[in-house]
Structure formats: C-alpha cells, structure tokens
Amino acid sequence: MSDITQLPRLHPDRLGALPAVVRRPSYPRERLRAGIVHLGVGAFHRGHQAEITEAAIEAAGERGLQWGIVGVSLRRPDTRDALKAQDGLYTLSLRSADAEQLRVIGALIDVLVAEEDPEVVLDRIAHRDTRIVSLTVTEKGYCHDPATGALNREDRVIVEDLCGSAHPVTAIGYLARGLQRRMERGLGPVTLLSCDNLASNGDTLRGVLLAFCAEIDPALRDWVAARCTFPNSMVDRIVPKTTADDIARVSGALGRYDAWPVVGEPFFQWVIEERFAAGRPDWEAGGAQFVADAKPFEVLKHRLVNGSQSMMAYMGVLAGWPTTDRVIAQPAVRTFISDTMARETQPTLPPLPGLDVDAYRASLLPRFTNPALGHRTRQIAMDGSQKIPQRLLAPIRERIAAGLPFPRLALGVAAWLHFLRGYDESGNAFPIEDPLAQPLAAAMAQAARDTEKLFDAHARERTRVRIIAGFAPVFGDLGQSHEFVDTVATQLEALCAHGVTGALTRVNQTT
C-alpha cells in the first residue's frame, strides 16, 4: 500500500491520463446540480444507484445535469475523508472470475457528515434543487420492529429524536426535520426512495416516517402524507466491503491512487415503482426497470438471494468458511441451497409475470460462486434480527399456513440461533453485531438456565427454541406455533450433535 499511495491521486484534472479501457465521466461535471440527497453513502449505494445515475446523466445530456448526488454519512467521516481529495470521484470495479471492468463515477459531487454539521444536511434536504432523498442505511437504520414494520418508539435514539434534541441522530429524524424545513419554506415535495433490503421498503419508510412526524408536528405528517411519495424498490447486486487488496489492485490498474473504490459483481437489477413526486433521472439508461408494483420482486430477492446468503453466512461462520464462494464450494452446502430454493422457497413466491423464475434461480449459484468478490460471511451475518423475518420467517409462515414442510428453512433459522452463541465449531469466539444483541442475549441466557437440567436432547432444544422464538420483535407469534418450534428444534439438535456438515448431510436426505 505504501507504493500505491505514492501515485498521483485520482482527480478530475487527471482523468485524461487514465488508461483507455477505464470509463470516465463524459459530461461537464462542473455543471452538475444536486437533485438527489442520499443518506448512507457506503459501498452499496456507490456500487449501484450512483452508477445508474451516472448512466442517466450521460444519456440525458443537458437535462441530466440536474441529477448530481450529495451523499450523507450519518456518523463516520471515512467516506468523506477518502473522497474529498478526489473531488468525489471513485472507481467502480465490476469483477467476475476472469475479468474486471473499471469505471470512474462522477455523479457524487459532495459528501456531508451529519454528525459534524447537521444543519448543512438539513438545509440540503430542504434545498430547492433537491427532488429525491434516497436511503441505504441498512435495515436497522429504520428504527422499526422487524416483525411488524412499525416505528419502534422504545428505540433509544428514536426517543432522543422525538424529545427534540438539538439535532437529529437517526435517518428518520433527519428526514422529518428536513421535510419540516421544506414545508416551512414553501418548497415542493420530494420522493423518499428506500433502496434497503426491507419488506415493502417504501411502505415501511412511509409508515415509520409518518408515525414520527405525527409525534412532532401533525401538520407535517399531513403534508408529507399528501405530497411526498415513497416508491417500493428492489436492488440486486452483490457489493462486498472494499479491502486493502482491492484498493491496491484498482489503483495499480488506474495508475492513480483511489483511496476508496467499490467492488461489485457485473449482475445488476433495480426494480422501482413509478411513483415520483418531482421527477427522476432517466435510470432506464442504466438498466433500471419501472413497474406498478415492486413487491413481488422484493419478495423474490429477499427469499431467494438474501435468504440463501444468510443461510450460507451463518453456516460459514460456524464451520470456519470465511467467504461465500468457499461456502458454496462445499458440495453439501451447494445441494442444500439449491434444494431450499427449489423445494421450499420458490413455491412461496408471488406471481412474477414476464420473469422466468426457474432461470433466475439457476443463475444464483454461479453468482454465489464468484471468487473475485470475496464476500465475507461475517459481513453478511451482521444484524440478523433485522434480516431473518423477511428472508426466512416469512416463507416459513406461508408454508405452515399451507400445511407444507420446511426442514431446510428451519435449518437456516437454527443456524442463526446457533450463531448467536458467539463461537464457532472450533471454539473461536466472535462478537454478535446486531441492534437487538442485548435482548437476544437475554433470551439465550434464559434458555440456557431453563434447559440446564434437561437431559433429553430434543426436549432441551425444543425448550431453547420456544424461549428464543418468544421474542416477538423478531418472531412475532411464531413462538406459539408447535410446528415451528418442533421443526427448528430438530435442526438445532442436529447442528449441536453433528455440526454444520453433519446437519446438512441429514437435511439433504429429506424428501
């Protein structure tokens, strides 16, 4: 890295010196105006929405120059610090097993750090140029109950924001206070666009934001409800965390030091409901698809893509397989993921006219196998309480209602419960990174106490599952389902007795 940092910095003045194979902005970047404010300007946003906005700006000519992006980091200044010397430029590296495409993205024209200067962020949301405020703040950033989608009024930071602290802390607080300024200044409405992996992400954002607004200003609640729009959307692209090796490789290929490139897979899908209050970029130019109802596509991605990733992640962490390509290379895992998708998950999907679901499902195993991404299982395993409800519990509910078995999905849930112990099969400890880590740990401790004197293995695991599944913010009423508790307990018993590989071997023999 020391040699790489000695290279000239990636900068607008040096774009002409980049290798010819590297794509770069072809529009007058100095004339961009910020039509989009994006909260959560991490790798995921820079690896999908910013790239597609880049394509839209280039395709629309003069009209596209209104769609520059101001990114907002809610807390950490690392993205701002890395990109400031580059005037917001960064490289997107799309990698497959045998090829890499490099593109310098210019759509990001500024990065703000909310914690350092909240007034600037609020004024940017309330700026007359702003037409869209989008979000990738992860599931936990919505401060909601994962099982119901409702605003969690017991969340400490939500309580702070509702009590009128000097400046907001949460994304929801920033949205509410920024929109309040728009209303007071007589400015027009905006579109609030969630790009996070939430069930009905636009509807969820609308619900938590309106509930928050109603607490602080009923007139604001009515203004937002009547004038702003909240399209549901689904984004599908694997974007792992950038590593030091990625920075070195990309910088070497550019001949310029890029302090924070983004790595992603070539595959891309973005499905968005056509509901925009103040216009939008020509995102079709980058491959976005506009529909009347995005929810079926959300369900498709949450259950087939994200559900498979979560199961691979928990099994990988437990067994000591650090990346998803290493996990899916295990024959037992590959069979398990393929059978889970085909036998248990796909039958729960809603109708998807015009989509060959069998072909889509078949395309996922090669994507998971991509060794160029190095998608780490520990990264995917974070925040399970926010992910498990829509990825695994939702299809399980439907299978229970239909009287259908779900041993494979149950093994995925059991793997998460086993993961919550905080150590792998070799006895190596790891932290549980989850916004509900404390109440989950309390439920685990209660289960340990209540099963301490139970010597029958199935009775022990059944009691354990019943206690943990009684945690309603994650499981809703599933803890009251004997079928759910018994099926998950059977798989948890197998994991405890035989380890990940043994449990997989057994469930793979299930018809």
pLDDT along the chain (511 residues), means of 10: 83 95 96 98 96 97 97 95 97 95 98 96 98 97 93 92 87 97 97 95 97 96 98 96 96 97 96 97 96 95 97 98 97 98 97 91 95 94 96 98 98 98 96 95 94 88 96 95 97 97 97 79
- Enter the pTM of the model: 0.92
Please give the pLDDT value at position 409: 98
The residue assigned the tokens 């750090």 is: 113
Please give the pLDDT value at position 2: 54
Please give the pLDDT value at position 175: 98
- Distance from C-alpha of 157 to C-alpha of 170, rounded to nearest angstrom: 7
The residue assigned the tokens 């790798």 is: 43
Instruction: Supply 310's token pair.
Output: 């979560």
CB 130 within 8 A of CB 44: no
Report the DSSP beta bridge partners of residue 68. Answer: 34
Helix (H) or strand (E) holding 193: strand 191-194
CB 125 within 8 A of CB 181: yes
Among 335, 336, 313, residue whose Cα is nearest residue 325: 313
Please give the pLDDT value at position 77: 95
Please give the pLDDT value at position 454: 85
Please give the pLDDT value at position 353: 83
Please give the pLDDT value at position 3: 82
Please give the pLDDT value at position 56: 98
Contacts of residue 230, defined as CB under 8 A and 6 or more positions apart, other chains included, come to: 191, 192, 193, 194, 202, 203, 205, 206, 275
- Distance from C-alpha of 329 to C-alpha of 335, rounded to nearest angstrom: 10
